[in-house]
Amino acid sequence: MLDSVILYLGFAVIFVGTLSILWPLRFLRIRTRRAGAIIGACGLLVVIIVCAFPAQTKHVSSPTSKLDEWMPTWQFDERHEIHIDASPQRVFEAIHAVRADEIFLFRTLIAIRRCGEPGPESIMNAPKTKPLLDVATQTTFVYLADEAPREIVVGTVISAPHDIEKPDKLTPEIFRKELLPGVVLATMNYLVVADSSGGSRVSTETRVYGNNADSVRRFAVYWRVIHPGSDIIRRSWLRAIKQRAESK
């Protein structure tokens, strides 16, 4: 997430520089509009460099999870883990049952991501009464694995060129076949492992794969902007699972 931190630092510097062009912020020792313009330009340069920074492609050599099998190659990822004082079976049930309104700041952050625009029911516009995984897999996601009480893997197509024919319904096969250039795929899992104390260690990992240089370059900019919010959502989602599993 270091690249996202530097990116937002660049945005902050642009903001400070722009304000100082209008009204020099002397408490920050910016005494002239010219100094404000230089500071703003430095912030813009930081943003451009971060957005242009190449993404590293990663590979799994020896798969140890269903996620490894379904997405062994990727460029963008994040992983979080939590301990839950509940059996894997109870945890697995909680993963399936958690709703959007149980996840702290989920609706707020998603609304910011979609710029407040309304849309059809999906994980980006989830109703309060339905489990979030049900909403996801009935709309834009598909189950790639659902093996109780160990692992769930879901996947989706984030973007594809306009000239690629899109199926009426997303199926797992799209993650197995060779696709035309320009497609970006995403997967997310929940992996539950029993521990010696009778509880469970639960991890969630998101992976994103672009199948050509242009798609990776475009998604890199988007990822670096939304990564901090995504990080908060994933951590809050794990805490919601923990609260539901431990309250039974």
Domain locations in the chain? 2-52, 58-246
Q: How confident is the model at residue 124 (pLDDT cuts 50, 70, 90)?
A: confident
Higher-confidence residue of 117 and 191: namely 191
Query: C-alpha angle 212/213/214, rounded to 5°?
Result: 95
pLDDT of residue 116: 64
107 closest CA partner among 243, 242, 237, 244: 237
Higher-confidence residue of 146 and 127: namely 146
126 closest CA partner among 100, 91, 96, 89: 100
Q: How confident is the model at residue 122 (pLDDT cuts 50, 70, 90)?
A: confident
186 closest CA partner among 212, 160, 157: 157
Query: What is the C-alpha separation between 241 and 236, in angstroms, rounded?
Result: 9
Average of per-residue pLDDT across 91-101: 95
Higher-confidence residue of 70 and 111: namely 70
Backbone angles phi, psi at 22, to 5 degrees: -80, -40
Query: What is the C-alpha separation between 10 and 242, in angstroms, rounded?
Result: 36
Residues 6+ apart with CB under 8 A from 228: 1, 4, 5, 8
Whether 248 has a pLDDT exceeding 70, the answer reads: no
Query: What is the C-alpha separation between 192 and 246, in angstroms, rounded?
Result: 15
Write 100-103 long-range contacts (CB < 8 A, 24+).
Answer: 100/126, 100/127, 100/128, 100/132, 100/135, 101/128, 102/240, 102/243, 102/244, 103/132, 103/233, 103/236, 103/237, 103/240
Question: Is 220:53 a contact under the CB 8 Å cutoff?
Answer: yes
**30-84 pLDDT, tens per residue?**
999 999 999 999 999 999 999 999 999 999 989 999 999 999 999 999 999 999 9
Strands (E) located in the chain: 58-59, 73-74, 76-84, 142-147, 151-159, 184-194, 200-210
Share of the chain above pLDDT 90, in %: 77
Q: How confident is the model at residue 197 (pLDDT cuts 50, 70, 90)?
A: confident
Q: What is 58-246's CATH number?
A: 3.30.530
94 closest CA partner among 156, 148, 153: 148
**137-176 pLDDT, tens per residue?**
999 999 999 999 999 999 999 998 876 666 678 899 999 9
Query: What is the C-alpha separation between 179 and 146, in angstroms, rounded?
Result: 25
Question: Is 243:98 a contact under the CB 8 Å cutoff?
Answer: no
This prediction's pTM: 0.89
Query: What is the C-alpha separation between 82 and 115, in angstroms, rounded?
Result: 31
